[in-house]
């Protein structure tokens, strides 16, 4: 392997990306180092992004958060409370403290695994991905950025620079199924976000389709129930039948497969449970 | 190109490394520091945990080049030679060490936890140690060790 590229600012990083299309961009290394350690990948060289100053922080611009691609999961856990709580909750389910200290939101997005834990809350929030190359910059919704398992619209000369996430306007929840509370790749996961201002419900399913999918029928169903009952203005308890139906519609939106982590049938069953559960958590929080 | 990094307060210059090499490999095979253990090489077991610029990491998942000009602390750097720190002593006394292979990783994770949160509850301890696997103890003695270390450090102020 040739000498690692270690740019210190974004302009140099983009120039390096343009000049060395075969170089593998690496941030926290939590996925890529495994591939190097096990001889699964031998890039001609590595483009180390950990020193690029512009990627390291996050900021609030009006009603949006601009989160640099190099922000770690650990930082999302502490910093997103009250701003993008669903993202913070999801980040806390990633790996272990060691993994959360290294893995970044940009890496999670670029890897584009259907099981990427940061992805469901970002899709449910309507996040946009900002990319740049030596010749310009563009921004696409995450739902369009992801095109399949580990596939996305990034060009070989582009890097993810930041994620734009609307500040939460209501409760957000994320739940993930796995054999234990830490160190698991999601068998399936679900984000549910309530927007009390716009009076909308948004969902996103992880690890149960080729990419992250929304359960739009479930969203429309529960928005109808809430509107009909005048529940946004007078938030009473939600009928159990509505929670159950919401869960069923979430499960129906998934396109799961059988694999080593779980069967398609199990994933559908679990998503119905997660749908019921996360919606009731959100609604309890909204009522309080 | 030389790799220059500080390990346990001492600056090291490593003449030549493979560009895909992990920090763990540099520590163990080039600097002769076997405290960080080589087990899973995929961040699953926590046995290679070290502090990188005061942040707990799996050294197997850090590209050695990423540690250029940075500061690493391994289990060897926690106490003078032939001595042990408060956390290490607590592990010895409570029976938290059996085969000992996972111990350096647990010690580093515990050091990190108690620096951030000197008096953690059990749920916090479990979350902080969730990235470290032990196949001997069943973890109860390790939890005892963390509680003991926390109490002693608290008493020392």
Q: What is the SS3 assignment for A187?
A: coil
Enumerate residues 95 to 134 of chain B having a beta carbon within 8 A of any beta carbon in chain A: 109, 112, 127-128, 130-132
**Measured distance CA(B140)–CA(A101) in Å, rounded:** 26
Outline which parts of chain B fall under CATH 1.10.150.120: 86-156
Q: What superfamily would CATH give domain B3-76?
A: Beta-grasp domain (3.10.20.30)
In degrees and rounded to multiples of 5, residue A54 shows phi and psi of: -65, -20
Q: Which chain B residues contact residue A37 at CB under 8 A?
A: 22, 41-42, 60
Per-residue model confidence (pLDDT) at position A124:
98
Give the pLDDT band of residue B157 (cuts 50, 70, 90): confident
Q: Which residue of B has its CA nearest to A32?
A: B61
Does A183 reach chain B within 8 Å, measured CB to CB? yes
Per-residue model confidence (pLDDT) at position A130:
98
**pLDDT tens digits, residue range B69-88?**
999 999 999 999 899 999 99
Reported in sequence order, the residue ranges of chain B that DSSP labels E, i.e. its strands, are 3-7, 10-14, 49-52, 55-58, 71-73
ipTM given for this complex: 0.97
How big is chain A by its Cα radius of gyration, in Å? 19
Give the pLDDT band of residue B1 (cuts 50, 70, 90): confident
Does A46 reach chain B within 8 Å, measured CB to CB? yes
**pLDDT tens digits, residue range B123-144?**
999 999 999 999 999 999 999 9
HSE, side-chain direction, 13 A CA sphere, residue B53: 10
Residue B34 pLDDT more than 80?
yes
Cβ distance A4 to B132 less than 8 Å, yes or no, reads no
Helix then strand then coil, in percent of chain B rounded to 5, is 40, 15, 45
Q: Which residue of A has its CA nearest to B60?
A: A33
**pLDDT tens digits, residue range B105-128?**
999 999 999 999 999 999 999 999
Q: Which residue of B has its CA nearest to A24?
A: B20
Angle between helices A240-253 and A264-287 (to 10 degrees): 140
Outline which parts of chain B fall under CATH 3.10.20.30: 3-76
Domains of chain A: 10-48 (no CATH), 55-166 (3.30.465.10), 172-287 (3.30.390.50)
Flag residues of chain A having pLDDT under 70. Answer: none
Does A182 reach chain B within 8 Å, measured CB to CB? yes
Task: Write the CATH number of the domain with boundaries B86-156.
Answer: 1.10.150.120
Does A111 reach chain B within 8 Å, measured CB to CB? no
Q: Name the pairing type of β-strands A58-61 and B10-14.
A: unpaired
């Amino acid at each position: 392997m040739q000498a690692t590229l270690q740019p210190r600012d974004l302009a140099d990083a983009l120039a390096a990306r343009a000049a060395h299309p075969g170089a593998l961009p690496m941030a926290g290394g939590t996925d890529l180092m495994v591939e190097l350690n096990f001889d699964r990948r031998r890039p001609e060289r590595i483009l180390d992004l950990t020193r690029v100053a512009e990627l390291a922080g996050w900021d609030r611009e009006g009603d949006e958060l601009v989160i640099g691609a190099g922000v770690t999961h650990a930082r999302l856990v502490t910093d997103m409370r009250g701003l993008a709580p669903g993202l913070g909750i999801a980040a806390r389910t990633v790996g272990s403290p060691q993994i959360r200290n290294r893995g970044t939101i940009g890496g999670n997005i670029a890897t584009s695994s259907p099981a990427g834990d940061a992805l469901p809350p970002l899709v449910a929030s309507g996040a946009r991905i900002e990319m740049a190359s030596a010749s310009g910059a563009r921004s696409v919704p995450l739902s369009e950025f992801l095109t399949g398992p580990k596939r996305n619209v990034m060009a070989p000369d582009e890097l993810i620079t930041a994620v734009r996430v609307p500040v939460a306007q209501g409760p957000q929840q994320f739940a993930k199924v796995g054999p234990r509370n830490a160190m698991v790749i999601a068998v399936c996961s679900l984000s549910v976000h309530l927007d009390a201002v716009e009076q909308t419900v948004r969902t996103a399913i992880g690890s149960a389709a080729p990419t992250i999918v929304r359960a739009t029928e479930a969203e429309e169903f529960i928005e109808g129930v809430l509107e009909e009952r005048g529940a946004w203005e007078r938030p009473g308890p939600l009928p159990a039948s509505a929670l159950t139906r919401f869960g069923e519609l979430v499960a129906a939106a998934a396109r799961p497969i059988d694999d080593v982590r779980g069967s398609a049938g199990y994933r559908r069953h679990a998503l119905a449970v997660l749908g019921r559960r996360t919606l009731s958590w959100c609604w309890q929080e909204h009522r309080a | 190109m030389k790799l220059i990094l500080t390990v346990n307060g001492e600056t090291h210059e490593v003449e030549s490394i493979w560009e895909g090499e992990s920090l763990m490999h540099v520590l163990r095979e080039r600097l002769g520091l076997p405290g960080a253990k080589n087990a899973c090489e995929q961040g699953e077991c926590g046995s290679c945990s070290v502090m990188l610029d005061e942040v707990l990491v799996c050294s197997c998942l850090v590209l050695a080049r990423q540690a250029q000009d940075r500061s690493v602390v391994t289990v060897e750097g926690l106490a003078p030679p032939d001595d042990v720190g408060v956390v290490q002593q607590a592990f010895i006394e409570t029976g938290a060490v059996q085969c000992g292979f996972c111990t350096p990783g647990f010690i580093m994770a515990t050091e990190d936890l108690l620096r951030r949160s000197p008096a953690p509850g059990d749920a916090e301890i479990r979350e902080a140690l969730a990235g470290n696997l032990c196949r001997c103890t069943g973890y109860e003695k390790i939890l005892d060790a963390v509680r003991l270390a926390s109490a002693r450090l608290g008493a020392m102020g």
